[in-house]
Amino acid sequence: MNSKYYKLIILCRFLKATSLIRQDLIDNSINTASDNILFMRRARMLGHLAEFEAQGIAKIYNFDTCQEDDFFEGLDLLISEAHSVTFKNA
């Protein structure tokens, strides 16, 4: 099994997912720009998402397995964690 190939696939999907989350936060920031508190919360969430994205890339890079299903289960877990980092009702 070529783990580098699967790592690149997972990395691409992870970055696409975080990009969609980031765009949603930016759109929400624009829509709530008149409310300073919500705007600052969204700005902090963007910072947290950037930190989480860097940590996620490191996790994918260091992930070592012989089962390709483990890669995709790990991806699902990372994406759900990304959603929890940017949960707007928290």
pLDDT in tens, 11-31: 999 999 999 999 999 998 888
Q: Any idea where the domains of the chain sit in the sequence?
A: 3-85
Q: pTM of the entire structure? A: 0.82
Are residues 32 and 42 in contact, defined by beta-carbon separation less than 8 angstroms?
A: yes
CA atoms within a 13 Å half-sphere pointing along the CA-CB vector of 27: 6
Q: How far is CA 84 from CA 18, 51, 54, 79, in A?
A: 12, 13, 16, 9
Are residues 83 and 49 in contact, defined by beta-carbon separation less than 8 angstroms?
A: no
pLDDT in tens, 40-87: 888 899 999 999 999 999 988 888 776 777 777 888 888 888 888 887
